[in-house]
Amino acid sequence: MVSTLQAVAPPPAGRREAPERRPALLVLPALVALAVFFLYPLVSMVISAFTDPAPGLGNFTWFFGEAQNLRVLGRTFTTALWVTVIALLLSYPYAYAMTIAGPRAKAVLTLLVLVPFWTSLMVRTFAWVILLQDTGVVNDVLGAVGLGPFSLIRTQAGVVIGMVQLLMPFMVLPLYAVMSGIDRRLLTAAGGMGAHPVKAFATVYVPLSTPGVSAGCLTVFISALGFYVTPALLGSPTDALLSQQIFTQVNGLLKWGRGGAMGVVLLGLTLAMIALLAVTLRRAGKRVTG
pLDDT digits (tens, 9 = 90+) for 4-42: 445 455 555 555 545 566 777 888 888 899 999 889 988
Nearest to 200 by CA among 209, 208, 191, 212: 191
- What's the pLDDT tens digit per position in 152-164? 888 899 999 999 9
Provide the residue type at 152 as one letter.
Answer: L
Range from 141-150, 173-182, 257-266 carrying the lowest mean pLDDT: 141-150
pLDDT, position 23: 74
Q: What percent of the chain has pLDDT over 90?
A: 45
- Residues 6 or more apart whose CB falls under 8 angstroms from that of 235 comprise 154, 155, 156, 158, 159, 241
Q: Which residue did the predictor score with more confidence, 144 or 59? A: 59
pLDDT, position 283: 73
Residue 2 pLDDT > 50, yes or no? Answer: no
CA distances, 51 to each of 48, 68, 260 (Å): 5, 23, 10
C-alpha triplet 216, 83, 43: angle, nearest 5°: 70
> What is the rounded average pLDDT of the residues 52-68?
92
What does the mean pLDDT of the chain come to?
86
Structure confidence at residue 51 as a pLDDT band (50, 70, 90):
very high
Provide the residue type at 11 as one letter.
Answer: P
What homologous superfamily is domain 74-240 in, according to CATH? Answer: MetI-like (1.10.3720.10)
> What is the rounded average pLDDT of the residues 46-69?
92
pLDDT, position 27: 86
| Nearest-10 Cα torsion for 209, 213, 219, 222 | -160
pLDDT, position 275: 86
C-alpha triplet 17, 23, 27: angle, nearest 5°: 135
- What's the pLDDT tens digit per position in 186-227? 888 888 887 888 888 888 888 899 889 988 999 999 999 988
- For residues 223 and 167, the answer to whether their CB atoms sit within 8 Å is yes
pLDDT, position 5: 45
Burial class (CB in 10 A: 0-12, 13-18, 19+), 76: buried
Residue 290 pLDDT > 60, yes or no? Answer: no
Structure confidence at residue 284 as a pLDDT band (50, 70, 90):
low
> What is the rounded average pLDDT of the residues 250-266?
92
Provide the residue type at 139 as one letter.
Answer: N
CA distance 275 to 263: 18
> What is the rounded average pLDDT of the residues 77-97?
95
The full set of domain ranges for the chain reads: 74-240
pTM of structure: 0.84
Q: What secondary structure, in 3-state letters, does the chain show? A: CHHHHHHHCCCCHHHHHHHHHHHHHHHHHHHHHHHHHHHHHHHHHHHHHHHCCCCCCHHHHHHHHCHHHHHHHHHHHHHHHHHHHHHHHHHHHHHHHHHHCCHHHHHHHHHHHHHHHHCCHHHHHHHHHHHCCCCCHHHHHHHHCCCCCCCCCCCHHHHHHHHHHHHHHHHHHHHHHHHCCCCCHHHHHHHHCCCCHHHHHHHHHHHHCHHHHHHHHHHHHHHHHCCCHHHHHHCCHHHCCHHHHHHHHHHHCCCHHHHHHHHHHHHHHHHHHHHHHHHHHHHHHHHHHC
